Amino acid sequence: MGGDARKRLLEAAELLSRTVGPAGMSLEAVAAAAGLSKGGLLYHFPSKHALLRALVQDHVSGFRDEMDRRSPGWAEDGGEAQAMAGARTYVEVVREIMKQTEAPSSGIFAALTEDPHFMAPLLELRDVVRRMFGRCPREAMLAFHGCEGLFHDRMIDPVRWDGARAEEQFGLMARLLDELAEGRARFAR
């Protein structure tokens, strides 16, 4: 029950932070949306700060878990082939996240406005991903920066977000990575 309640609280906090923002999100509203008492919420998260910090960490853990499931060893210091497999998985996972949600992780990023220290788990994940791309042919870094750019575009301007254009860009990144893995795409050195 404890894990289920915690999960429901995090889901409710994500929804509310996306719709009313972290400043407008009260612990009472999160507890009510999760179907729990405020005391039940406080048992798991003793403060709003703790709840928001957990929300960011949950997002990062979920992303890493999905990467691990699809591409075991992606974060390890394996060879180029392992890194390329991880890079292709990264593009796929980011692509799917952006398709699945109205505003991908906007609640997470809204939480970051409450305390810049919440960025630490995201920055650590980004460093791991960047190191993985660093083990790929150098041109693969274009896919990493492409994903970052698309994510940023959607996060800061969801009204003008063009999903069809983004889908085309994800396709181009996937094709670039496939060609790099097959040794067919090399830029002049």
46-48-54 Cα angle (round to 5) = 80
* pTM of the full structure: 0.83
Contacts of 3 (CB under 8 A, 6+ apart): none
* Of the candidate ranges 13-27, 94-108, 129-143, the one whose mean pLDDT is the lowest: 94-108
For residues 98 and 169, the model is more confident at 169
Arithmetic mean of pLDDT, 138-146: 96
pLDDT of residue 85 exceeding 60, the answer is yes
Percentage of residues in the chain having pLDDT higher than 90: 58
Q: Which of 16-20, 56-60, 91-95, 106-110 has the highest mean pLDDT?
A: 91-95
Q: Give the side-chain half-sphere CA count within 13 A for 93.
A: 21
Distance CA 14, CA 54 (A): 11
Residue 188 — very low, low, confident or very high, per pLDDT cuts 50/70/90? very low
Residue 175 — very low, low, confident or very high, per pLDDT cuts 50/70/90? very high
**Residue of 29, 62, 33, 52 lying closest to 107 (CA atoms):** 52
